[in-house]
């Protein structure tokens, strides 16, 4: 073992809240120092959410003092505990402020010699894309679509094979390597092949019409699928937030169904597009709503159909 990556999700109160463990922030930092003292290369993962997004600059000195080489940032995905704490999940319109903050964070990391590494679900195609992804040169310094199922594959503790460890549910589980060969699963399992075979006709909503659709394919599936029930329409996007803003609009998500109590359980949300001006918002209401759609277990390909009767909008 050469390197150790520790998750630190903001400052102490935020991290302990997100991890639901008092004292875990202190222990995580101590683990970093111990690993460094033992000669390991150390790095940190941080989730970006409504609390941690304000604490990044405050966190940097602690990470620099511990001696980390790299810092991966990714948004909190709307599944599992995040559905029960939906007010933690970033609202799409917050991406404007978030990326202004990340621009400053990138400069500070550069000064401190920390490699900033945006995760797969953080982007896409905004004006500071290259600055944020300049270390990802194998990908041309910009997001080139999710590589899960193309270059990577993952294994669950029970032997089940998926394209990415963050994906959940039967739509994403190809089968067990204990029952099938890995080569067979890779070549034949429709759940694994989906990522290699999907086209822009599997996108929907704003992403289907997006200029970057072919390169991006709707960003991170593990962020969009648990939000709207199927991938292909992703409001967690800087380019999209900027385009909305340019049109005098913004997008927000609203929980319409909570998650079951099991690992990787997803809820369902809708995406509401509305005027960014509060007065117009109050008088005119939404201009568009993307309701959740049926899962890929029901309808594997294409944009899918909307799920009926998900409850009235608040």
**Site for ligand SF4 (CB under 6 A): which residue of 239, 270, 293, 296?**
239
- Here the tokens at position 112 are 């401190």
Strand order in the sheet with 173-176: 154-155, 160-162, 173-176
State in angstroms the smallest separation of the CB of 311 from ligand SF4: 26
H/E run at residue 31: helix 24-37
Smaller CB separation from ligand SF4, 129 or 191: 129
User: How, if at all, do strands 173-176 and 160-162 pair?
Assistant: antiparallel
Nearest to 257 by CA among 126, 86, 88, 105: 86
CA distance 24 to 39: 23
Q: Please work out the total of residues on this chain that contact ligand SF4, with binding judged by CB under 6 A.
A: 14
Which residue lies nearer to ligand SF4 by CB, 212 or 264?
212
Question: Does the protein bind ligand SF4 through residue 44 (CB under 6 A)?
Answer: no
Smallest distance, ligand SF4 to C-beta of residue 298, A: 23
Q: Pick out residues in 180-209 that bind ligand SF4 (CB under 6 A).
A: 206-207
One character per residue 99-138, x = contact with ligand SF4 (rule: CB under 6 A): -------------------------xx-------------
Rounded CA gap, 273 and 181, in Å? Answer: 46
* Beta bridge partners of residue 70, listed in sequence order: 43, 115
List of residues contacting ligand SF4 (CB under 6 A)? 124-125, 206-207, 210, 212-213, 216, 218-219, 234, 237, 239-240
């Amino acid at each position: 073992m050469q390197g150790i990556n520790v998750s630190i999700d903001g400052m102490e109160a935020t991290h302990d809240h997100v991890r639901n463990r008092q004292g875990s922030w202190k222990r995580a930092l101590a683990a970093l120092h111990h690993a460094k003292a033992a000669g390991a290369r150390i790095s940190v993962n941080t989730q970006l959410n409504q609390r941690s997004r304000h604490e990044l600059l405050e966190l940097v000195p602690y990470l620099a003092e511990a001696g980390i080489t790299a810092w991966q940032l990714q948004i909190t995905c709307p599944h599992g505990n995040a559905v029960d704490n939906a007010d933690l999940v970033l609202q799409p319109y917050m991406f404007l402020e978030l990326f202004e903050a990340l621009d400053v964070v990138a400069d500070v990391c550069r000064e401190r010699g920390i490699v900033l590494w945006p995760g797969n679900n953080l982007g896409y195609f905004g004006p500071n894309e290259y600055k944020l992804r300049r270390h990802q040169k194998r990908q041309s310094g910009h997001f080139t679509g999710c590589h899960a199922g193309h270059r990577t594959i993952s294994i669950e503790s029970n032997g089940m094979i998926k394209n990415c460890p963050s994906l959940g549910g039967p739509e994403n589980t190809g089968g067990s390597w204990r029952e099938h060969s890995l080569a067979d699963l890779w070549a034949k399992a429709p759940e694994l092949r989906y990522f290699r075979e999907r086209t822009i006709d599997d996108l929907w909503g704003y992403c289907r019409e997006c200029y970057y659709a072919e390169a991006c394919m709707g960003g991170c599936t593990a962020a969009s699928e648990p939000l709207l029930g199927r991938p292909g329409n992703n409001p967690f996007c800087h380019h999209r937030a900027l385009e909305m803003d340019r049109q005098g609009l913004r997008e927000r998500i609203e929980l319409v169904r909570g998650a079951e109590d099991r690992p990787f359980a997803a809820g369902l949300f809708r995406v509401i597009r509305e005027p960014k001006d509060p007065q117009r918002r109050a008088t005119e209401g939404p201009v568009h709503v993307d309701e959740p759609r049926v899962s890929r277990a029901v309808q594997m390909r294409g944009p899918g159909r909307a799920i009926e009767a998900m409850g009235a909008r608040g």
